[in-house]
Structure 1
Amino acid sequence: MRLTTVPARRGSGERAPGPRSGLSGRAGYLFVSGYTVLLIAFGVLPAAYALWLALSNSRHQLVGLGNFTRTFADYRFASALGNVLLYVTVWLVSLTVLVLAAALMLHGRMPRTGKVLRFVYYVPGALAGAASVVLWLIMLDPAVSPAGFLLRAMGQDSLPTVILPEHLPVVFAVIAFWTGAGGWIIVMYGALNNIPAELLEAARMDGAGVLQTVLRIQLPMLRKWITYMVILAFAGGTQLFVEPQLVTTASQRMVADSWSLNQLSLQYAFQADDFNGAAALSVDLLLIGVIAAAAVVFRGGLFERD
């Protein structure tokens, strides 16, 4: 009688070693190597150089936090920081609420027009930032805008009244939503399609209505996608520059040329010839973005495995 040895069963989480495992691991490193090189060359090294400039003076002598305290004391800093934070708050709230609402309607209520709407949502993203701002300057001018009658009905009879400094956070949020929300609607729509249909059907059979399904199933399963969207939108929002710079020019300096932190950094670098102060402001923005991203990542469980 010939005896055969039965191999021991492996646990459900174990994999049998294979000859291709080492090859696939090396292929993974090869795929990420290009991104890693570019990240170091155009992300890590410039950030390190900016940090060095922020901690030194024009004679390359270390001054510690001197550049930071000096820029904090600038009377324009608090105003620029407040403007950016107010804009980012309006932008993130409107982006999250409206993108999710549009994606959910596209997924559940508009199956026939879904392809057309996905294309329409994405079209504004094809316009560059400067082009979209110029377009919106025309749209916001009651004298030439196709929607001028609506602006006049709201008591806005000229472009200067529309782009008053107190209106700008909302105006810039509208511009940002128009140019950037379409891509996120498509992303959220794709994430909704990954939710198993059997799970949604089971919820309907248990008597869950549309609102209950959204709140108890769809939104919790979109949590990581929402976290990712918020991180990128926050990082882009704090870098606000093109919109206020063009509005400043179009309004003939009625809007301050230091409305945002990036504009203030430009003033330091190219008007005051103070690259160290400009670097300190850029490091401030970097720290704000990193701290906010870390908080959102850990609270949102972005890297947790389901």
Structure 2
Amino acid sequence: MFTSVYTLFLLAFGVLPTLYAVFLAFTRNGAFAGVDNFLRVFSDYRFLPAVMHVAAYVVVWLISLLVFVVLLALVVQAIRIRWVSTGVRFLYYVPGALAGAASVMLWLFVLDPSVSPVAWLLHALGSESLVQTVQLDTLPIVLAVIAFWTGAGGWIVIMYGALNNISADILEAARIDGAGAWSTAWFIQIPLLRKWISYMAILSLAAGTQLFVEPRVLSQATHGVVPQDYSLNQLSFLYAFKQADFNGSAAISLLLLVVAVVLSVYFVFRGGLFERE
């Protein structure tokens, strides 16, 4: 009873669209086309750059998320003054209330040296305009910063809750054995967070490969400095709604799904996500 509504939504908006995408990816004008749609996508001059852009972004995004979320959660958990800890967690969580497009709109002002509250930092980095700030070579870092600012707060709160579930007896035994704060974090707390870190990596990986809103808004704001085919999702969008090629669009989407599933399975087994204690 509890899972029935979720199951219906999963079938309607997850399983059925996926099966339809599989059908489109292997057909052309209603006839079976084998892997022709995939070969056409692979030969597109825009495909490989889009793959490299998404890969660079996901690497920067995942590494920064895994490292800084765990670190900040440990710092918050170490704060013993309750109202300070609560206030910090609330401040971390606030940016997550902004939707993707709204978050990017806010960051357009932050990244523009003419109006940015951190203009001094942008000038020190050699940026004199928004266009210079979002150049293609630095764009994965810019996008990762935006994504981190938006999504990290919720994960910090989750990791904080997981840290509070660690038995006080284990931490007390570590203190008796002479373990300091860093030793306790490295050898006890982080290993016990392994499942939660894997869970965060899986969901963040899925979100990262779906990169669309941020580069699209930046493309409009910079009048094409960020190309409209920067990410695979953008390229899939162009195939479907600019070229009326839904088969090629489905092929790109299916490739993204396969890559995300394979990497997610790796994180599941490496992180022991479904292991019983």
Smaller-chain TM-score bracket: over 0.9
Deviations 1:240-279 (A, max 9, x none): 0000001111110112110000000011111111000000
Deviation at 1:187, TM superposition (A): 0.1
Q: Which residue, out of 6, 13, 20, partners 1:49?
A: 20
Counterpart-to-counterpart distance in 1, 2:100 and 2:159? 23
Cα distance, 1:285–1:146 mapped onto 2, change above 3 Å: same
Deviations 1:48-76 (A, max 9, x none): 0000000001x200001110111011111
Structure 1: give runs of 5+ residues left out of the alignment.
1-29
Deviation at 1:111, TM superposition (A): 3.2
Q: Does 1:98 pair with 2:72? A: no
Q: Does 1:152 pair with 2:94? A: no
Normalised TM-score (structure 2): 0.98
Q: Does 1:293 pair with 2:238? A: no
Deviation at 1:33, TM superposition (A): 1.4
Counterpart-to-counterpart distance in 2, 1:255 and 1:72? 22
Deviation at 1:35, TM superposition (A): 1.0
Deviations 1:193-215 (A, max 9, x none): 00011110111001111121111
Deviations 1:73-114 (A, max 9, x none): 111100000000100000000001110110000001353410
Q: Does 1:264 pair with 2:235? A: yes
Counterpart-to-counterpart distance in 1, 2:123 and 2:262? 42
Supply the AA of the counterpart residue of 2:232.
Answer: L
Supply the AA of the counterpart residue of 1:297.
Answer: V
In the other structure, the counterpart of 1:107 is 77
Deviation at 1:31, TM superposition (A): 1.0
Counterpart-to-counterpart distance in 1, 2:167 and 2:114? 51
Q: Does 1:68 pair with 2:43? A: no
Identity of aligned residues (%): 56
In the other structure, the counterpart of 2:7 is 36
2:157 aligns to what SS in structure 1?
A: helix
**C-alpha RMSD of matched pairs (Å):** 0.8
Counterpart-to-counterpart distance in 1, 2:182 and 2:90? 27
Superposed, 1:1-306 pairs within 5 Å as: 30-57=1-28, 59-109=29-79, 111-112=81-82, 113-306=84-277
Tell me which moved more, 291-300 or 47-56: 291-300
Counterpart-to-counterpart distance in 1, 2:60 and 2:236? 23
1:75 aligns to what SS in structure 2?
A: coil
Counterpart-to-counterpart distance in 1, 2:159 and 2:216? 31
Supply the AA of the counterpart residue of 2:256.
Answer: L
Supply the AA of the counterpart residue of 2:66.
Answer: T
- Answer with 1 or 2: which has the greater Rg: 1
Deviations 1:170-218 (A, max 9, x none): 0000000000000000000000000011110111001111121111110
Supply the AA of the counterpart residue of 1:77.
Answer: F
1:165 aligns to what SS in structure 2?
A: coil
In the other structure, the counterpart of 1:5 is none
Tell me which moved more, 31-40 or 85-94: 31-40
Deviations 1:273-303 (A, max 9, x none): 1000000000011111111111110111100
Question: How many residue pairs are counted as aligned between the two chains?
Answer: 276
Counterpart-to-counterpart distance in 1, 2:81 and 2:6? 37
In the other structure, the counterpart of 1:16 is none
2:146 aligns to what SS in structure 1?
A: helix
Counterpart-to-counterpart distance in 1, 2:17 and 2:254? 11
Cα distance, 1:159–1:110 mapped onto 2, change above 3 Å: farther
Supply the AA of the counterpart residue of 2:72.
Answer: A
Counterpart-to-counterpart distance in 2, 1:294 and 1:149? 44
Counterpart-to-counterpart distance in 2, 1:202 and 1:263? 52
Counterpart-to-counterpart distance in 1, 2:27 and 2:125? 51
